[in-house]
Amino acid sequence: MEVTASSRHYVDRLFDPDPQKVLQGVIDMKNAVIGNNKQKANLIVLGAVPRLLYLLQQETSTTELKTECAVVLGSLAMGTENNVKSLLDCHIIPALLQGLLSPDLKFIEACLRCLRTIFTSPVTPEELLYTDATVIPHLMALLSRSRYTQEYICQIFSHCCKGPDHQTILFNHGAVQNIAHLLTSLSYKVRMQALKCFSVLAFENPQVSMTLVNVLVDGELLPQIFVKMLQRDKPIEMQLTSAKCLTYMCRAGAIRTDDNCIVLKTLPCLVRMCSKERLLEERVEGAETLAYLIEPDVELQRIASITDHLIAMLADYFKYPSSVSAITDIKRLDHDLKHAHELRQAAFKLYASLGANDEDIRKKVSLGEGRPPVLTASRQGVTST
């Protein structure tokens, strides 16, 4: 009851006739909801969202008030998926997109930050980004405004680019040219989000991939920049995403399978991602991407099979979850259980790609130290009968 009463107080202040008190009320609400999901839920139930959106869109509201409203709405969106659904029901996306037409950079950044949070939620339909044909070109124009607009817009694009139709829309509005130079940004977050954009744009898309091969950034071709980004001294996330970009370009026919950037750089990087030193999530992504890279090419399959004991390495994918007695940390057990299925699935995909065309590799998998437990059990069963 106390929480509900205090929540009601925050909402009531949004209706005060004194604009300065309204602004202070929004600021106090912002401080109250940080890290407090219960408070966020209460404010939504009590009708804070429609009022905040009204204030955000009012011409008489000061830019400071509009910005603070966008910040609070972004904080509410960071709560549960139900929070995001409630925001979507209040038509928050058109209101925030309208806010992007403002000349004020801080307000634009606050709107973009909130849009980023909403669009990266699994409950938000990606199509909402493409409903109004003027939105994508305007977002492209905003990329030059600041490193924050660059980070948020690239993140929105990478999450909302699902399939060839979206790739075509972004490509036709100059995504490649507008995002390429961001790969040399001083901000790691901007570089990373730009890289993720290229990985989703290039996936199974020959048109985009063929274009990327010939793009120059500061005198360097994009594939050369991607190769630099998958070196061992770069963060794992960057190595993996760069390897995905090169993999997708290769599979789309833009880079030859015998090119050094594939054989000597991309493939070894993806094999490294399969080692037990990596996080379980990284091992899943590494194995799945490697499986996709080598699937149609027998020579890449042979090279992969003899790189860093890959086949033996894959046997470790079946050792999760670890025995309960060996794990005292319940969070670790929960983590292992969650990823055990994904690990096995990724391993089987890679086994299938490795043995797709070469009998010798198939024998290595079925007879060698890297055979999965399923094969071991079936062979023992055959022997005993």
Radius of gyration of the chain (CA): 25
Q: What is the pLDDT of residue 382?
A: 36
Query: Which residues on neighbouring strands pair with residue 221, listed in sequence order?
Result: 216
Q: What is the pLDDT of residue 66?
A: 98
Q: Closest Cα partner for 198 from 180, 217, 216, 213?
A: 180
**322 confidence band (pLDDT: 50, 70, 90):** low
Rounded to an integer, the average pLDDT of 32-47 is 92
Task: Tell whether the torsion through CA atoms of 229, 234, 235 and 240 is positive or negative.
Answer: positive
What is d(CA 343, CA 283) in angstroms, rounded to the nearest whole number?
7
Q: Closest Cα partner for 56 from 14, 106, 96, 2?
A: 96
Q: What is the pLDDT of residue 221?
A: 97
Contact of 326 with 263, CB cutoff 8 Å: no
Q: Cβ–Cβ contacts within 10 Å for residue 321, how many? A: 17
**99 confidence band (pLDDT: 50, 70, 90):** very high
Rounded to an integer, the average pLDDT of 110-120 is 98
pLDDT averaged over every residue in the chain: 90
Which phi and psi angles does 372 have, rounded to 5°? -70, 155
What is d(CA 115, CA 128) in angstroms, rounded to the nearest whole number?
11
Q: What is the pLDDT of residue 360?
A: 72
Rounded to an integer, the average pLDDT of 161-171 is 97
**155 confidence band (pLDDT: 50, 70, 90):** very high
Contact of 244 with 195, CB cutoff 8 Å: no
Of 37-46, 234-243, 246-255, 349-358, the poorest mean pLDDT is in 349-358
Q: What is the pLDDT of residue 377?
A: 41
What is d(CA 217, CA 87) in angstroms, rounded to the nearest whole number?
40
| pLDDT at residue 122 tops 70 | yes
Q: Which residue has the higher pLDDT, 120 or 317?
A: 120
**212 confidence band (pLDDT: 50, 70, 90):** very high
Q: What is the pLDDT of residue 341?
A: 84
Q: Number of helices (H) and strands (E) in the chain: give both, helices first.
A: 24, 2
For residue 46, count CB atoms less than 10 angstroms from its CB and return exposed for 0-12, middle for 13-18, buried for 19 or more: middle
Query: Which residues on neighbouring strands pair with residue 220, listed in sequence order?
Result: 217
Contact of 203 with 187, CB cutoff 8 Å: no
| pLDDT at residue 369 tops 90 | no
Rounded to an integer, the average pLDDT of 271-291 is 93
Contact of 143 with 149, CB cutoff 8 Å: yes
Q: Which residues 6+ apart lie within 8 Å of 349 measured at CB? A: 287, 288, 291
CA 298 to chain centre: 31
**307 confidence band (pLDDT: 50, 70, 90):** confident
Q: What is the pLDDT of residue 356?
A: 73
Cα separations (Å) of 12 from 42, 54, 91?
A: 13, 14, 22
Peptide bond into 321 cis (omega under 30): yes
What is d(CA 75, CA 47) in angstroms, rounded to the nearest whole number?
15
Q: Closest Cα partner for 189 from 142, 148, 243, 141?
A: 148
Q: Which residues 6+ apart lie within 8 Å of 271 measured at CB? A: 286, 290, 304, 307, 308, 310, 313
CA 11 to chain centre: 34
pLDDT digits (tens, 9 = 90+) for 219-263: 999 999 999 999 999 999 999 999 999 999 999 999 999 999 999
Q: Which residue has the higher pLDDT, 336 or 245?
A: 245
Cα separations (Å) of 346 from 285, 286, 350?
A: 8, 9, 6
Q: Which residues 6+ apart lie within 8 Å of 332 measured at CB? A: none
Rounded to an integer, the average pLDDT of 326-352 is 76
What is d(CA 373, CA 307) in angstroms, rounded to the nearest whole number?
22
Write out the two tokens for 265: 């750089």
Q: What is the pLDDT of residue 383?
A: 38
Q: What is the pLDDT of residue 337?
A: 74
Rounded to an integer, the average pLDDT of 342-352 is 89
**35 confidence band (pLDDT: 50, 70, 90):** confident
Of 78-82, 86-90, 171-175, 362-366, the poorest mean pLDDT is in 362-366
The residue written with tokens 């979206």 in the block is 166
